[in-house]
Structure 1
Amino acid sequence: MRRKRCCRLLLKLALLLASLWMLSILGSPKMGWNPSSSVRYGWLHYTDEDDNPEKVCNCSAILQGERDMLEQAKLLTITKDFRKRVNIPDEFYTSATKDCRKFKSSRKYITFPLSQEEEDFPLAYSMVVHHKVQNFERLLRAIYAPQNIYCVHVDKKASASVLSAITSIISCFPNIFLASRSESVVYASWSRVQADLNCMADLFNASATWKYFINLCGQDFPLKTNLEMVRALRSLNGANSLESEKMPKNKMWRVEKVHQIVDGHMKDVGKPKDPAPFNLSILSGNAYIVVTRAYVQSVLEDKRVQALIDWAADTYSPDEFLWATIQRIPGIPGSTWTNTKYDMSDINAIARLVKWEWHEGARASADAVYPECHGTHVRAICVYGAGDLQWMLEQHHLFANKFDTDLDSVAVYCLEKYLRQKALAALQ
């Protein structure tokens, strides 16, 4: 009896050791993992056999702009039954992440570096979220790599189900954490900047190895693989990439008048502001940036930046000028001169691709910056549809905004499938 029990225990131990050995091979390129073997990473592919409602769409045809397939995708997105099927409730994530190993496997997270080049160039992400957990999780999966580090800021006003779901997802990954301090974010107020500042400080203190900082919101999505991002960032040679232009006259009121939160909205309280400290020129930009670790250190420690932050706290939409202004302060790592010859538009910067409604139009139009939106508009910003994908993938930007799986999940599905196949193809 003892011999049988002993044999069973030895057999279990042998199976456990064999499993751990296999995991070490699959999970670590440095221990014999062979990237040329499709058998080893085939399970990471998004295929037509995956249990996704969007699989009825021909993504290859959609990405090539074939009209019939685009019309089919458009019809799907307005079908009530389809929209119901693609929706994943917050509670799913809370339940599914009780078994983290199964969750990461079933959702096909890439849990090992795909190349030495990527492993040697880790990135830091700030992710500011307040709703739409499904959008957040699909974004996270698309950008996740074990060598990177991620700070997630969940709005204080977020519902209990949103906070629970995101906290549960984060708990499955050692390199993802919640921001140490949460803000109640009000549109166009300082709180939006403070959310990113909280994550900047947390990321800076958490790791000394990451090279670039990228800030995201829950409705962003990548246009490049992690390897493509690494190569694009290396090519910057220590420079930052963000919109930074002369402030238009019709926006100067944002920094010339004191604004405060009144009844949940930013209001002009009728008090003029003093000029910016150190005679700094206030530049126009946006909330999304791609900057070096040294730039982040300056944001946290440079006295001129700290004075600018204090001054900007009661302005309107400071996220649309703060980073752009810091980028032109002499001596800031990766910065450029204040002269207008160094102005950079959002089209030239690689940080974010956004379609504003008033800049859309036909290519022949002298006023058009990009083609018309194939999705819908929210606050004059295009929420992308599947018909936008072909044009988007021709651009040099790392990320695009906005996506919404509630409005067009096909656009997200085809984009994430394209990026995954491209990332894995690079291994061969």
Structure 2
Amino acid sequence: MRPRSPLLLALKLSVVLGSLWTLFLLSGPTIDFNPTYILRYRWLEYTGDDGSPESVCNCTAIQQGDKETLEQTKILTITKDFRKSIQIPDEYYINATQDCRNFKLSRKYLTFPLSQEEEDFPLAYSIVVHQKVQNFERLLRAIYAPQNIYCIHVDNKSEGSVISAIEAITSCFPNVFLVSKRVTVVYAAWPRVQADLNCMADLYNASTKWKYFINLCGQDFPLKTNLEIVRALRYLRGGNSMESERMPENKKYRFTNSFEVVNGNLKVAGKQKTPPPFNLPIMSGGAYIVVNRGYVRSVLEDHRILTLIEWSKDTYSPDEFLWATIQRVPGVPGSNWLNAKYDMSDVNAIARLVKWHWHEGSQGSLEAVYPKCEGNHVRAICVYGVGDLQWLLTQHHLFANKFDIYTDPVAIYCLEKYLRQKALADLH
């Protein structure tokens, strides 16, 4: 008789554990969690028996692409009790951070630099969040290092519990702070750029030591350890990395027409825009970038870029052309020449890996850019599942999007476990 898989046995066990976990979370109106009890990690390490619901999964087999394990894990992640068991309410973070020392200890934050190389190369992060505190906290924990600095922008229209929970988390770290000026983010409108600009200014003024700026959102997650990120950035030798390509004809309407926000939505204003200032060619790009400190200084001080910023405020989805255009402005530190030979796609840039639905396909397909999504799609973007991990870990990008703790928590769990173990292994 074929031996029964440990994960199949764990499925039954997880239902029981999940129910107990849920009862514990919902045990009363005042939630006073003991993080050490919830997550019984040994100091710094993620072990195979850490007390969290996801620990029943075999991350090693998942990362190796074992088909049986992947199928069993997918079944687990759609189990109602398991889904409930992994959800941590916002109130947990509000209460747990009343004792910051215990919170950082139990949540396994790295409170000291792991190497001199990392300490000598601090990074600056902007993180834009509007929901899912648990996603944000897992991201922060994965990228946290005491020599780095982090600016957090919480959308003005976020729920009160989200704002309070993130405020509570940031209060526990001297190098993590809330942006000084919050905005109400509107999809495809200027405020999305303004959120990053506000964090850029705060980070630039807060410290003169950091070398590179990286902007993220709450559903990003790293594919590399901090040491690997530092080494990748050193390899850039002062250059920047982002998508910056010629603008397709079918997207030029975004900046040839004027747009305005009406009742929280972006609408066509009914008038054409003037040409871009200084005859700058508008490039196609993405909202997420890896840039040196000099690039940020140019964004904040260069009169050409300040003029371009003002011109961009009534365009559609300016985050998908502004950074890419600035990257081709002569004299900007780390920029590239305007010649098409310097065009860079999102696949070749290291900033961020995104699977778009229309670029997916089978291996060997002439049209496919990457394999099909093993999770689900939101606005044509893949929300990664455990079946994507093996492929993700072979890519050169520093970060990937999207991850969702409520859709596939095991994907995040196994990825952060892999990164922590690799970070600690590199110490030897």
> SS of 2:315's equivalent?
coil
Any runs of at least 4 consecutive aligned residues in structure 1 with deviations exceeding 6 A, and if so which? none
In the other structure, the counterpart of 2:157 is 157
Corresponding residue of 2:246:
246
Question: Which structure is larger by alpha-carbon Rg, 1 or 2?
Answer: 1
Structure-2 residue corresponding to 1:137: 137
1:374 aligns with 2:377: no
- Per-residue CA deviation, residues 122-175 of structure 1 (Å, 9 max, x unaligned), is 000000000000000000000000000000000000110000000000000000
> 1: CA distance between counterparts of 2:57 and 2:380?
28
Aligned residue identity for 2:189: S
Displacement of 1:262: 1.7
Partner of 1:68: 68
- 1: distance between equivalents of 2:217 and 2:76? 26
Structure 2 CA distance for aligned equivalents of residues 74 and 260 of structure 1: 43
What SS does structure 1 have at the residue aligned with 2:51? coil
1:343-362 matches, within 5 Å, as: 343-362=343-362
Tell me the CA shift for residue 69 of structure 1: 0.8
Residue aligning to 1:102 = 102
The residue number in structure 2 matching 1:80 is 80
Instruction: Note the 1:27-426 alignment, pairs <5 A.
Output: 43-426=43-426
Give the alignment's TM-score, normalised by structure 2: 0.90
- CA deviations 1:203-227 (Å, max 9, x no partner) are 0000000000000000000000000
Q: Deviations over 1:50-103 (max 9, x none)?
A: 111011110000000000111111111111000000001000000000000000
Distance between the aligned counterparts of 1:178 and 1:324, measured in 2? Answer: 26
Look up the equivalent residue of 1:144 and give its one-letter code: Y
Question: 1:32 corresponds to which residue?
Answer: none
Q: Count how many residue pairs are aligned between Structure 1 and Structure 2.
A: 388
Shift of 1:263: 2.4
Identity among equivalent pairs (%): 72
Structure-2 separation of matches of 1:72 and 1:338: 50
> Structure 2: which amino acid aligns with 1:131?
Q
Q: Deviations over 1:201-257 (max 9, x none)?
A: 000000000000000000000000000000000000000000000000000000100
Structure 2 counterpart of 1:302, one-letter code? D
* Aligned equivalents of 1:128, 1:214: Cα separation in 2: 11
Counterpart Cα distance in 2 of 1:150 and 1:368: 36
How far is the alpha carbon of 1:42 from its aligned partner?
A: 6.0
Q: Distance in 2 between the 1:295 and 1:76 partners? A: 45
AA aligned to 1:226 is N
Matched residues in 2 for 1:350 and 1:91: separation?
A: 36
- Tell me whether 1:427 sits opposite 2:399 in the alignment: no
Unaligned runs of 5+ in 1: 1-40
Q: Distance in 2 between matches of 1:365 and 1:265?
A: 38
Amino acid in the other structure paired with 2:352: R
